[in-house]
Amino acid sequence: MDKNSFLIQAIVYLSAAVVAVNLAKRLGLGSVLGYLFAGIAIGPYLLGFVGEEGKELMHIAEFGVVMMLFVIGLELEPNLLWRMRKLILGLGGLQILVSAIALGSIAYLAGQVWQSSLVIGLILALSSTAIVMQTLTEKSLLKTKAGQSSFAVLLSQDIAVIPMLAIFPLLATQQTNVVSTSFIANLPGWQQTLLVLAAIGGIILAGKYVVGPVFRWVAKTHQRELFMATAILLVFCIAELMIMVGLSPALGTFLAGVVLANSEYRHELESDIEPFKGLLLGLFFIAVGASINFGLIAANPGLILTLVLGLVIVKGVILYVLGAFFDIKGDQNMLFAVALAQSGEFAFVLFSFAGQYQLLDEQTTSVLVAVVAISMALSPLMFVLNERLIMPRFFTKQKAKRESDDIHETHPVIIAGFGRYGNIVGRFLKANGISATILDNDSDRVDLLRKFGFKVYYGDASRFDLMKAAGAESAKLIIIAMDTPEQCLQMVSLVKSHFPHLKILSRAYDRKDAFDLMDAGVDNIYRETLDSSLRMGTDALSMLGLRAYNTHRAARTFLRYDEKALTELLNYRKDTSSYIKVARDRIAELEELILSDMRDIEITERDSGWDSDALRKAVAGKDVSGNASSNEIF
Amino acid sequence: MASVLILFAHPVYEKSRVNRQLIDKIADLDQVTIHDLYEVYPDFDIDVAQEQALLLAHDIIVFHHPFYWYSVPPLLKQWMDLVLEHGWAYGKGGTQLRNKKIFNAFSSGGSFAAYQKEGHNRYTITELMAPFDQTAFLCKMTYYPPFVVHNSHLLSPEEVAVFADQYREIITGLRDGRFSEDDLVSASYMNSLIQKSYSL
C-alpha cells in the first residue's frame, strides 16, 4: 500500500483531526491544541505517517490563514477600523518595536551579528494570528477589551510583515542571487511602488464596483455551489495578485474583506468561506505540529526550553506593561499578554526568506523554527492555564464589558424574507426605531432595497451557517416571511432545532399553511389575507349604513372567534386525518369554514353591557309588579 | 388571606413616573394579581367572560389608574360598561360581586388643598368618587376610600418611592386583614389607615 497516495494521506489527516480535536474539546482544551496534537501524533517522530511532505502541506494550509483574514475583514466595517486606529498604530506599533529591540538584544548578546539580531527580533515579535484568533473566537472573547486589543495588535503585525520583507534584503551582508517569486521584482523601485499602489487601489475599486454585480449575476442562477465557487475564486484572485506584487496575500484578502463588509453579500460570503477556512486552518495547525523537530529538541533540550520560556516571558511582560499603558485592566490585561506571547506562523515564512539572504545560518534557523513551533503549541495550553489557575487566583473575575464598537452588528430582530409581506413589517419596526437584520434570497430585490438604503443581506436564510452569521445567537425574535410555505416551514424547523431561544413570528398563506405551522409548534401565526379582508368587510358594512364602531368591533370579534376555531379545528383535523386526506382540497376547506362560521352567531350577541334590551325588560317588569328592583336601574 | 385584583389602566405606562413605581412595588406579592388592561386590550376589545372570571376569583378589587378629568382613563370605563353586566353584577339576579371590596388607587396632579370646596377643583376627592361609590353600591360591593398620590408632577423620585412603599403597605394590609372594617369605611383617604394622612 502506498503510504503517500492521496486517499491514504487524507484518511490519516482527517482521522487524526477527528479523534484529537474531539478529545481536546472534551477536555476543554480547544480545537487548536487538538489539531496540534494530531500533527505531533502523525508526525515523523511519533507514528511517522507524515514525512518531509509535511512542509509542502504547510504551504497549502497557510491558505487557511489567508481565508481567515478575509472573513475577519468581512466582519469589520471600514469605519470601525478607523475607530481602532489608536490601538492598531499605537499599541501594535509599540509592541513590535519594543519586543523586537528586547529580543534582538538578547540575540546580540548571544553572539549574533547585529543584522541577524535585528532580523530575529523582528520575526519573533510577531504573534500567531491563526492560533490567537481561532482561540479567542472559540472562547467568545473577541468582543472583550482583551480580544479587541489582541486583534488590533495582530492586525498591525500583519501589516508590519510588508516593510520587513522590504528591509531584510537591505540588511544582507553578502550579495546573493535570489530567485524571487515576485513578478515585479526586476522592475525599478518606483515602478514597484506604483504597481503595489495600483494593486491595492484595484482591490478597493473592484470590491466596490465589480464584485457586487458579479455576485448578483451569479446569484440569479440560484446555484449555491456556483456562488461558493465564485467566493473562493475571488479569494484566490486576490491572493495571486498580492503575490505578484510581492505583498502578503493575507493582507490583500483582509483588505478585500473590509471593502465587502458593507455589501449585501457579506453574510453569504462569510458562511461560504467559513468551512474551507476552518478545514485549512486545521490542516495548518496539524502541519505545525508535524513540523516540530523532536530530534533537534532531544539533542539540546535545555537550550530549546530556555529559549521558549525566555521568548514567552519577554513577550508576555512587554505586552502586559504596554497593555497597562493603554488602559487594559486586570484580568483583561493578563489575557491580552497570555494571548499574544507566542510567535507566529509568519516566522516560518520570514525565516526561510531571511535564510535566502544569508542573514541566518541553517543551525540557528532550525533551532528558532523549533522554538516558534513549540511556543505556538504551548499557546493554547497557556490559555487554559491562565483561565483555570491564574485568573481565579489573582483576579476577581471582572465582567467582560461589551464595547459598543462590536465587530458584528447585532440586532434584536431577524427578518427572513423581505418581499411584499416582510417589507411592511420591517418598515414598521424601523419607523419605531427597531433595526432588524434582513435576509432575502432574491438578488434583484436585495439590489433594489439597497439602493433605498435598507441594509439587506443576500442569502438563503434557512441555512444554519448564514443564520449564525446574521447573529441568530444573540437576536430575540425572528420574523419569517419567506416567499413560499415550504421555505417558511424549513426555516421554522431550523430555528426550533438550532436557535430555540428565538421567538418565532411566522406568516401563513392560508388555513392549511397555518395548520402546518401550528403542527410545527409556532405560536404566533399571521394569515396574510385575514386582517385586510376583514378591513374590507368592515368598510363594506359601513357603506351599507352600519355604524363604524359597530362594524369595527364586529371585525375584532370575528377575528377572535376565527382564531379560536382554527385551534379547535387543528385537533379535528388530526383526528380525521385520513378523511381529510381523501377529500383534501376545497370541499374540506369549505366544510371547515362553515363549521367555524356557525360560531359567528356569537358575534351578534356581544357587548350586552351596552344593550338596553335587558334593562328595558327589567323596567317593564317593575311597571307590572311594582317591586323593589326599580331602584337598581340607573 | 384575601386575594387582590389590581385592574391597572394606564394608556402611557412607559412614560409613567408614579404609577409605574407603585406597580413595581407590589408586583411580587402573593395573592395579588396585576391585570394590565391597556396591555391586554390595546384595541378596547374586552373579553367579558374572562374579566368576569377574574372578578369571581378575587376578594378585593382595585381600580388603579392616573386621574384623568376627575375620572378613570377610557379603557377602564369601557371595562365597567361591558363587564358589570345587568343580571350578573347588578339588577335582578345580579349578585355575583356581592360582599367583594373595591376602591380606587390613583395619582393626581392636583394638591390636597386643590381638592377642597375652597380649592380650584371645588370638590373633594370623596365627592368626585361618588360614581364609583355608587357603582359599588349597586353591585352590592363595599366601597373603600381611595389611595391617592397628590402633586404627582412635582414629586421627586425619592418622594415617589415613599408613596410606593405606602402602597405596598396598604395592599398587604388589606390582603392580610390588618385594618379594621370600621376604619376602612369611615376614612376619606386610604392613606390615613397607615397614618399618612394628607392635611391642609
Q: Residue B21 — very low, low, confident or very high, per pLDDT cuts 50/70/90? A: very high
B86 in reach of chain A (CB within 8 A): yes
Name the amino acid, one letter, at A204. Answer: I
pLDDT at B61: 98
CB atoms within 10 A of CB B61: 21
* The two domains A6-46+53-173+187-394 and A413-610 share their CATH topology (first three levels equal): no
Question: Above 90 in pLDDT, residue A57?
Answer: no
Give CA torsion, residues A431, A434, A435, A436, to 10 deg: -110
Q: Taking CA atoms, what residue in A is nearest to B90?
A: A632
CB atoms within 10 A of CB A238: 25
Question: Above 70 in pLDDT, residue A577?
Answer: no
* Interchain CB distance below 8 Å, B94 and A609: no
At B114-160, the pLDDT tens digits run: 999 999 999 999 999 999 999 999 999 999 999 999 999 999 999 99
**CA pair distance A218, A226, nearest whole angstrom:** 7
The single residue listed with the C-alpha cell 465587530 is A407
* Interchain CB distance below 8 Å, B91 and A557: no
Name the amino acid, one letter, at A288. Answer: V
* Interchain CB distance below 8 Å, B90 and A632: yes
Nearest CB partner across the interface for B84, out of A557, A609, A621: A609
The residues in B 19-78 lying below 8 A from A, measured between CB atoms, are 43, 45, 47-48
B5 in reach of chain A (CB within 8 A): no
Q: What is the secondary structure of A197-234 as a DSSP string?
A: HHHHHHHHHIIIIIHHHHHHHHHTTT-HHHHHHHHHHH
At A488-500, the pLDDT tens digits run: 888 898 898 889 9
Name the amino acid, one letter, at A461. Answer: A
Residues in chain A within 8 Å Cβ distance of B86: 608-609, 614-615, 618
**CA pair distance A489, A622, nearest whole angstrom:** 62
pLDDT at A585: 47
Q: Taking CA atoms, what residue in B is nearest to A556?
A: B45
Q: What does residue A247 show for φ and ψ, rounded to 5 degrees?
A: -105, 170
**CA pair distance B61, B58, nearest whole angstrom:** 7
Percent of chain A exceeding pLDDT 90 equals 12
**CA pair distance A14, B145, nearest whole angstrom:** 79
Nearest CB partner across the interface for B45, out of A556, A621, A629: A556
* Interchain CB distance below 8 Å, B83 and A557: no
Q: Taking CA atoms, what residue in A is nearest to B41?
A: A556
Nearest CB partner across the interface for B45, out of A553, A615, A632: A553
More confident residue, A27 or A397: A27
pLDDT at A409: 57
Q: Residue A601 — very low, low, confident or very high, per pLDDT cuts 50/70/90? A: low
Q: Which domains does chain B have, with CATH numbers?
A: 4-194 (3.40.50.360)
* CATH code of domain A6-46+53-173+187-394: 1.20.1530.20
Angle between helices A362-385 and A301-325 (to 10 degrees): 60
**CA pair distance A375, A339, nearest whole angstrom:** 11
Nearest to A393 by CA among A331, A437, A435, A346: A331
Which 3 state secondary structure label does DSSP give A70? helix
pLDDT at B31: 96
Chain B closest-CA separation from residue A541 CA (Å):
19
CB atoms within 10 A of CB A556: 18
Half-sphere exposure of B120 (CA within 13 A, CB side): 3
Q: Taking CA atoms, what residue in B is nearest to A612?
A: B86
Q: What is the secondary structure of B169-196 as a DSSP string?
A: HHHHHHHTT-S-HHHHHH-S-GGGGGT-
pLDDT at A623: 46
Chain A closest-CA separation from residue B137 CA (Å):
10
Q: What is the domain partition of chain A in residue ranges?
A: 6-46+53-173+187-394, 413-610
At B66-124, the pLDDT tens digits run: 999 999 999 999 999 999 999 999 998 899 999 999 999 999 999 999 999 999 999 99
At A438-486, the pLDDT tens digits run: 888 777 777 777 777 777 787 777 777 788 888 888 889 999 998 888 8
Percent of chain A exceeding pLDDT 70 equals 83
How many Cβ contacts (< 8 angstroms) between chains A and B?
39
* Interchain CB distance below 8 Å, B83 and A609: yes
More confident residue, A284 or A182: A284
Residues in chain A within 8 Å Cβ distance of B43: 556
Residues in chain B within 8 Å Cβ distance of A614: 86-87, 91
pLDDT (average), residues B167-177: 96
More confident residue, A403 or B168: B168
pLDDT (average), residues A414-436: 88
At A608-629, the pLDDT tens digits run: 777 666 667 776 665 444 444 4
Global ipTM: 0.74
Strands B142-143, B101-107: pairing kind: parallel
Chain B closest-CA separation from residue A522 CA (Å):
21
pLDDT at A397: 45
* Interchain CB distance below 8 Å, A634 and B92: no
Instruction: Report the residue of A608, A612, A619 to disrupt the B interface, i.e. the one with the largest count of B CBs within 10 Å.
Output: A608
Q: Which CATH class is domain A413-610?
A: alpha beta
